[in-house]
Amino acid sequence: MLLIACPYCGNRPETEFRCGGQAHIARPLEPAALSDAQWAEYLFVRDNPRGVHAERWNHVHGCGRWFNARRDTVSDRFLETYKMGETPKTTGSTSTGSTSTGSTSTQAEARA
Ligand SMILES: [Zn+2]
C-alpha cells in the first residue's frame, strides 16, 4: 500500500487523500485586464510533466487539510510533502528513468 506523509498527521494510506492538481499557480494580479483566452489559460491549462511535479493534495479522509507535495509522475514516488505557504526543501529537475536526486524521502511503502 502506498503511504503519503501528511505534514500534519504523518504517514497515511493513499486512499485517504485526493489530488487537487498543480500547485503554486499564482492568481493574476489584475484579472479584469486579461483577455478571455488569457483567463481561460489561467483557469484550465496546467503542466503535465513527465517527472517531478508540484501538486496540491487534500487529506480528505483525515485532517481535511490541504498541503503541497512534490511527486515524480514516472515512479509515483512522493519526494516530499510540505504545508501551504512553505517552500519545498528539494528543488530539482525531472528524474526521467534514473534514480532520484538526493530527495528527502517522506514516503514509505508497506506491504500488508
Ligand atoms: Zn492529515
pLDDT tens, 44-71? 999 999 999 999 999 999 999 999 999 9
Identify whether the C-beta of residue 30 lies closer than 8 Å to the C-beta of residue 50. no
* Ligand 1 geometric centre to CA of 42 (Å): 29
Q: Which pLDDT does position 92 carry in this prediction? A: 62
CATH classification of the domain holding 11: 3.30.2270.10
* Ligand 1 geometric centre to CA of 6 (Å): 5
Q: Which domain holds residue 72?
A: 1-25+51-89
The single-letter code of the amino acid at 91 is T
Which of 106, 52, 105, 108 is CA-nearest to residue 75? 52
Cα dihedral 9, 12, 15, 16 in deg (nearest 10): -10
C-alpha cell at 88: 519545498
Q: Which pLDDT does position 103 carry in this prediction? A: 37
Do the domain assignments include residue 34? no
* Ligand 1 geometric centre to CA of 98 (Å): 31
Q: What is the DSSP letter of 2?
A: B
**What number is the average pLDDT over the span 1-9?**
95
Average pLDDT, the chain: 85
Q: Which pLDDT does position 53 carry in this prediction? A: 94
pLDDT band with cut points at 50, 70 and 90 for residue 110: very low
pTM of the model: 0.75
**What number is the average pLDDT over the span 16-20?**
97
* Ligand 1 geometric centre to CA of 51 (Å): 25
- How many whole angstroms separate alpha carbon 60 and alpha carbon 18? 6
Domains: count for the chain: 1
Which of 80, 75, 38 is CA-nearest to residue 55? 80
* Ligand 1 geometric centre to CA of 61 (Å): 8
Do the domain assignments include residue 103? no
Do the domain assignments include residue 17? yes
pLDDT band with cut points at 50, 70 and 90 for residue 89: confident
Q: Which pLDDT does position 41 carry in this prediction? A: 95
